Amino acid sequence: MTDTEVLFLRSDELSGLATFPDYIDAVREGYREVGDGAPAEPRTKLVNESPPGMLTGYMAVLPETGAMGGYTYAAGFGDRDAHFLLPLFDAESGRPVALLDGASLNPFKTGAAGGVAADELARPDATDLALFGSGAQARGQLRAAAAVRDIETVEVYSPTKEHRESFAAEMNGALDASVAAVASPDAAVEGADIVVTATNAGEPVFDGEMLDPGTHVTVMGQYDAGKREVDATTVERATYVPDLRARAHQDAGAFLAAVEAGAVDEAHIHAELGEVVAGVADGRTDREEITVFDSGGTGIETVAAAQMLYERAEAQGLGETIGFAPASEALTGE
């Protein structure tokens, strides 16, 4: 039996292979391909009650990038942790080429999607950013935004004082911007050009009436029909752009709640991010426009980032080879 050689890459091998601008460039190309018609589907999520946990996955095919695949991951259950498997296939032959331990790249590729959206939808002269959250995803979103805009000031809010202060101190040393913890949501949002929510909140984290005209909002902490990080007012006031239109109808809690409240209807979806990147739909059209990017995680940024990392790892001789048998030889029935 002739095995197909597949490169297995551990998280520590993927660390440091690419910068945020590298991730953003790769993810931008992935979204452009989907905007031009490449296939991608929102996540499938299976929830288990006992032990409590979630098994989920999503996929995309990026023919011009030359890759397809996606995430499968489990969170919770008896281990009370999360584990990410990322299979990558060649888009022409269909052969598997790599299997990545996908945990370490998650904040980078997710942050990159927010970075692409900020570059398309935020005002070119945006300098002040309000950040809700103080975890790994908040860190990724902030670094990505700073890669596409000249961010000068950042106001960080999370409910735990120690968390927001330690996060602000860390990022103040890592970025050129001045990063400070603030004591309330209003203090964060007031005067912000860009607002990013990267939390596990189930209810809105700020009042949409506080948004100044011209603000861009990236919402990325929830992908649950019953939870939302922003209120119906925010959705109603904004040009609303999800990562995938199908996901907006499936598990974009803020959008679904706004529809249920009668604040908007389904026609309020302006375009998918890929359509904006590809030029199929307009992005920002004036300085006063409020924009929202609703990011729940897709196979687009996952596959685009994984292909970039795979190519770099292979060039540097990283990883170890494992074998997968092709079905033509393995499905013998014996």
Tell me: the pLDDT tens digits for 44-55? 999 999 999 999
Q: What is the pLDDT of residue 221?
A: 76
The mean pLDDT value for 198-209 works out to: 94
Mean pLDDT in residue range 330-334: 70
Is the pLDDT at 186 greater than 80? The verdict is yes
Q: Residue 225's pLDDT is what?
A: 86
Handedness of CA 305, 112, 29, 223 (dihedral sign): positive
Q: Which pLDDT score is estimated for 257?
A: 96
**The domain over range 4-106+299-330 is classified in CATH as 3.30.1780.10:** yes
Domain boundaries, the chain: 4-106+299-330
Q: Where residue 193 falls among pLDDT bands split at 50, 70, 90?
A: very high
**Torsion from C-alpha of 23, 46, 203, 157, nearest 10 degrees:** -30
- What local confidence, expressed as pLDDT, does residue 334 receive? 58
Report which of residues 37 and 1 the model is more confident about: 37
Q: What is the pLDDT of residue 132?
A: 97
The confidence score (pLDDT) of residue 330 equals 82
The strands making up 216-219's β-sheet, listed across from edge to edge, are 178-181, 153-157, 128-132, 194-197, 216-219, 290-294, 238-242
pLDDT at 154 over 80: yes
pLDDT in tens, 87-113: 999 999 999 999 999 999 999 999 999
Q: Is the pLDDT of residue 333 over 80?
A: no
Looking at every residue in the chain, the average pLDDT score rounds to 95
Q: Is the pLDDT of residue 173 over 70?
A: yes
The predicted-structure confidence for 248-304, as pLDDT tens digits, reads as follows: 999 999 999 999 999 999 999 999 999 999 999 999 999 999 999 999 999 999 999
Q: Which pLDDT tens digit goes with each residue over 217-226?
A: 999 977 888 9
The pair of three-digit structure tokens given for residue 7, joined into one six-digit string: 């490169």
Residue 172: CA atoms inside 13 Å, Cβ hemisphere, count?
12
Q: What b/e readout covers 125-159, taking b as 16+ CB neighbours within 10 angstroms?
A: ebebbbbbbbebbbbbbbbbbbbbbebeebbbbbe
What is the distance of C-alpha 261 from the center of its chain? 26
Write down the residue that tokens 């670094």 correspond to: 143
Q: Contact 307/88 with Cβ under 8 angstroms? A: yes
DSSP notation for 85-118:
EEEEEETTT--EEEEEE-TTTHHHHHHHHHHHHH
Q: Which two tokens stand for residue 205?
A: 């984290």
d(CA 165, CA 154): 12
